[in-house]
Amino acid sequence: MYLDPGSGSDFHETREWWAYSGILNRSRVAGARGACQCGWRGAATYPIDWEAADAPGGYEPVIEGPQEDWEQHIDEVEARTVPLPTELAELLDRVGEHLNTRTGQAPVAALKAVSALETLTRQVARDAACMAKADDLSWNRSETLSG
């Protein structure tokens, strides 16, 4: 989520709510909008209910709109990319289910498995990126299907 303080583009950006809550004589942000690491920013700005956030026990305002906009953006990006083979998608789903089960039953074992997956994904990602670059492949589905 991207917090838009509405004061130009030259400011330090953070995702920490306290920085925009009016604390320490800072400006209080009026709204929020979705954002993605790819550079996409949602068009809609959603107001923040500071009364609810400032209520006793309140921690961070919950704003559904930016999250929904980001999820739609991700769906659109995924629709334009090369599809994941069904067999691999099913395998990843099963791995995720096993990890979630292990998290509740044996959290240290789940962490060890995640560490092994991180190592594997770094290695495979590096090799796959090099091969895709060498073959001049595109992430874009239409270019891949027609090329």
How confident is the prediction along the chain (147 residues), in pLDDT tens digits per residue?
445 555 555 555 666 666 777 777 777 888 888 988 888 999 999 988 777 776 666 666 667 899 899 999 999 988 888 888 999 999 999 999 999 999 999 999 999 999 999 999 999 999 988 888 888 766 565 444 444
Q: Are residues 12 and 61 in the same domain?
A: yes
Torsion over CA: 93, 110, 67, 57 (sign): positive
Q: What is the pTM of this model?
A: 0.51
- Closest residue by Cα to residue 28 from 8, 52, 46, 3: 3
Last residue of a domain, one of 59, 78, 97: 78
Place of tokens 């993605």: 36
Domain that holds residue 26: 2-78
Q: Report the number of distinct structural domains present in the chain.
A: 2
Q: Are residues 28 and 14 in the same domain?
A: yes
